[in-house]
Amino acid sequence: MAEILLRLPPSSRRRARLVCRLWRDVVNERTTEAQSRPKLLLWRADKAIAYVSSDLSSPSPTGSCTELWRYSEPGRPRYGLQLVGTCNGLLCLCDNTKGVGGTITLLNPATGEELPVRPLPCAESFIIGSHRSIGWGYAYSFAYHPTTGQYKVVHVPSRHDRICEFNAVHVLTLGEPTWREVPVDPGDVITRLAPGIVSVDGTT
């Protein structure tokens, strides 16, 4: 059975983990992606530099850090680039200086590949009130669903200066052509957007 599970693609193995405890243990113990040790990502906001640390027990005050990626686009201010989130080594970045709602880009620092994310339609109507240009990225989250293997960018209608009531969020699944509106319970609110939006196992 283990040999059969190991021949499946990673996305299928993730779904197979849900069948029973035995299958989950086989996938966890016999596959490299389940055994890989997660590393801590550090983001220096003023310089737009990403570092990765795999050993926080190092005698160094910052642990054992290696520079992973550095923003180097000539003529563009570094302070306007905001880290939305990271999943499986991919970085989701928001350039707060480009247009209403900012511009979202996915980056693979290992290969240097970049994927511009389709802009949110009618962003003006989803971002209520006056925002400082530095804050667009706080309304987004970058999520990964371990069962389906899908990556998603989530946008929450919001405002910085007061409580915002909303009845839907906006989700773009990588590989799909358009954003979709996902209803939420009426009356849900964002009280403080500055701490950011958190996604865990595909749930935002």
pLDDT digits (tens, 9 = 90+) for 105-159: 999 888 888 999 988 876 655 454 444 445 778 888 999 887 777 899 998 877 6
In the structure encoding, which two tokens stand for residue 19, read together?
């069948």
Kind plus residue range of the DSSP H or E element containing 152? strand 150-155
Which residue, 143, 181, 184, 139, is CA-closest to 157?
139
The per-residue DSSP string of 59-84 comes to: SSTT-EEEEEEE---TTS-GGGEEEE
Cβ proximity of 190 and 158 under 8 Å: yes
Residue 13, phi-psi category: left (phi > 0), alpha (psi -120 to 50), beta (remainder): alpha
Q: What residue type is assigned to position 204 of the chain?
A: T
Mean pLDDT (whole number) for 17-30: 74
Q: Which residues contact 27 (CB under 8 A, 6 or more apart)?
A: 5, 13, 14, 16, 17, 34
pLDDT at 128: 47
pTM listed for this prediction: 0.70
Domain range list for the chain:
1-36, 78-190
pLDDT tier, 88 (very low <50, low <70, confident <90, very high otherwise): confident
Q: Has residue 201 got a pLDDT over 70?
A: no
User: Is residue 85's pLDDT more than 50?
Assistant: yes
What pLDDT is attached to residue 200? 52
